[in-house]
């Protein structure tokens, strides 16, 4: 299938799942929340949204495998694999905080070639294909021109587990707070990456991530002119559980600050 046709169909699937999530949020009962682990929440909404996404993606590319957060399917593709987070920002969702998203990425032989992140509440669909640029609701987007960390607004995520690293993280957070315009914790890694891509934020860092948290947003940020690395400055940022993303101009400074503490 031609990549732009595939992209259009993926966007439609993300929007369908997002519409389901939006409807369910109106009458959601906090008592229906389950715990996959300490502070790791899940609900029937996550699971049903994932089924919507998986079913739609299987129809358009039956040969592809899947990496999904909720594990509703177990299939490895020889060439293509979808990486799906049906509800990135579940904690926000269950508490009624209006920032959560559907994130979908397509990996071809280990390289991400397509990404879609649909932020449900603002009805903003961010998307990109390899070499095709980045967009939000059909409008091209690009990273900010901010030249330094001192004039940048930085996104991050607070740890909800892996607390053995929390002291290092708090030291890093203190350093960045003191040497930037500020730090924001939105609650969806996929949205964080897209906000950097759109120039709303200038950089982002987080650890204890999963591939489905970041895969969709990574290609969107890269196609918007940004840079993404792991904490060592390498390229193990999809499966390496740590990521620094930026507008590229502040990347070495932000990365250096992270490495001073990690």
The per-residue pLDDT for range 90-123, each reduced to its tens digit, is 999 989 999 999 999 999 999 999 999 999 999 9
Instruction: Indicate if the pLDDT at residue 178 is higher than 50.
Output: yes
Instruction: Indicate if the pLDDT at residue 163 is higher than 90.
Output: no
The whole-chain average pLDDT of the chain stands at 94
What pLDDT shows up at residue 34?
72
What pLDDT shows up at residue 132?
98
Can you tell me the distance from the alpha carbon of 262 to that of 258, in angstroms, rounded to the nearest whole number? 6
Instruction: Indicate if the pLDDT at residue 157 is higher than 80.
Output: yes
Residue-level length of the chain:
262
Mean pLDDT of all residues in 185-204: 98
Pick from 18-27, 42-51, 250-259 the range whose average pLDDT is largest: 250-259
The H or E element containing residue 251 is helix 251-261
The residues with which 206 forms a beta bridge, in sequence order, are 243
Instruction: Indicate if the pLDDT at residue 39 is higher than 50.
Output: no
What pLDDT shows up at residue 20?
96
What pLDDT shows up at residue 96?
92
pLDDT greater at residue 212 or residue 33: 212
Find out whether 83 and 215 touch, Cβ atoms under 8 Å: yes
Mean pLDDT of all residues in 199-209: 97
Find out whether 53 and 21 touch, Cβ atoms under 8 Å: no
Find out whether 105 and 83 touch, Cβ atoms under 8 Å: yes
> What DSSP letter does each residue of 119-165 carry, written as one string?
ETTTTEEEEEETTS-EEETTEE-------SGGG-EEEE---SS-GGG
Which of 83, 72, 129 is CA-nearest to residue 105?
Answer: 83
Q: What is the pTM of this model?
A: 0.95
Find out whether 21 and 45 touch, Cβ atoms under 8 Å: yes
Instruction: Indicate if the pLDDT at residue 258 is higher than 50.
Output: yes
What pLDDT shows up at residue 174?
97
At 41, the pLDDT band (50, 70, 90 cuts) reads low
Pairing of strands 153-156, 203-207: parallel
Q: 38 φ, ψ to 5°?
A: -60, 120
**The token pair that represents 201 in the structure block:** 């934020």
Measured in whole angstroms, how far is the alpha carbon of residue 257 from the centre of its chain?
A: 22
At 37, the pLDDT band (50, 70, 90 cuts) reads low
Pairing of strands 111-119, 124-129: antiparallel
Find out whether 41 and 77 touch, Cβ atoms under 8 Å: no
């Amino acid at each position: 299938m031609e990549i732009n046709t595939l992209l259009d169909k993926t966007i439609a699937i993300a929007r369908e799942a997002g519409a389901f999530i939006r409807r369910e949020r109106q009458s959601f009962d906090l008592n229906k929340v389950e715990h996959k682990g300490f502070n790791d929440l899940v609900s029937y909404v996550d699971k049903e949204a994932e089924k919507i996404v998986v079913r739609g993606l299987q129809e358009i590319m039956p040969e592809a495998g899947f990496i999904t957060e909720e594990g509703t399917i177990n299939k490895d593709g020889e060439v293509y694999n979808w990486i799906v987070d049906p509800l990135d920002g579940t904690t926000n969702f269950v508490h009624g905080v209006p920032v959560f998203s559907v994130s979908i990425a397509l990996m071809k032989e280990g390289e991400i070639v397509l990404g879609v992140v649909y932020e449900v509440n603002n009805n903003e669909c961010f998307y990109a294909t390899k070499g095709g640029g980045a967009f939000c609701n059909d409008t091209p987007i690009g990273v900010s021109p901010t030249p330094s960390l001192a004039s940048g607004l930085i996104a991050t995520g607070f740890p909800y587990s892996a607390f053995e690293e929390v002291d290092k993280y708090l030291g890093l957070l203190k350093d960045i707070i003191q040497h930037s315009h500020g730090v924001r914790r939105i609650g969806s890694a996929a949205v964080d990456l897209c906000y950097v891509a759109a120039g709303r934020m200038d950089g982002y860092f987080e650890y204890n991530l999963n591939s489905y948290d970041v895969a969709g947003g990574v290609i969107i940020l890269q196609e918007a002119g940004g840079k993404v690395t792991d904490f060592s400055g390498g390229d193990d940022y999809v499966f390496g559980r740590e990521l620094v993303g930026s507008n590229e101009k502040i990347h070495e400074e932000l990365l250096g600050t992270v490495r001073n503490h990690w």
